[in-house]
Amino acid sequence: KAGVTQTPRYLIKTRGQQVTLSCSPISGHRSVSWYQQTPGQGLQFLFEYFSETQRNKGNFPGRFSGRQFSNSRSEMNVSTLELGDSALYLCASGESAGTSGGGGQFFGPGTRLTVL
């Protein structure tokens, strides 16, 4: 099976702009989670979608949003970008945590977002 793919891999934006990141999960996986990784904060959970519904949400402001399509592909959007949004954004897919042997997730390579 093909792995998790994320596009674009690198992105440079300026403050105030908005950005949309895309994630295609492993075929058959219905759960897609998004994480933000920074040197200072580590990996922070943003949100999880399962069968097109947001199932969990982390402690991020409303500028961060996401959605999932019927084919399980997911997008996340960040509006009104701030300098502090510069990070590696990781997408992870899973079958359904309760049936996949304990919840291990499969990560994509990430999108490196730089906000100037």
Q: Of the two residues 11 and 106, which places its CB atom closer to another protein in the complex? A: 106
Least distance to another protein from the beta carbon of 16, Å? 27
State the Cα–Cα distance between residues 69 and 32, nearest whole angstrom.
Answer: 11
Q: Of the two residues 13 and 45, which places its CB atom closer to another protein in the complex? A: 45
Q: Of the two residues 33 and 115, which places its CB atom closer to another protein in the complex? A: 33
Cα 33 versus chain centre, distance: 6
Least distance to another protein from the beta carbon of 80, Å? 25
Interacting residue ranges for another protein, rule: CB under 8 A: 4, 31-33, 35, 42-45, 48, 50, 55-56, 58, 90, 92, 94, 96-98, 101-110, 112
The CA dihedral of 76, 82, 87, 89, to the nearest 10 degrees, is: 0
97 DSSP assignment:
G
For 24, other C-beta atoms within 10 Å of its C-beta total: 21
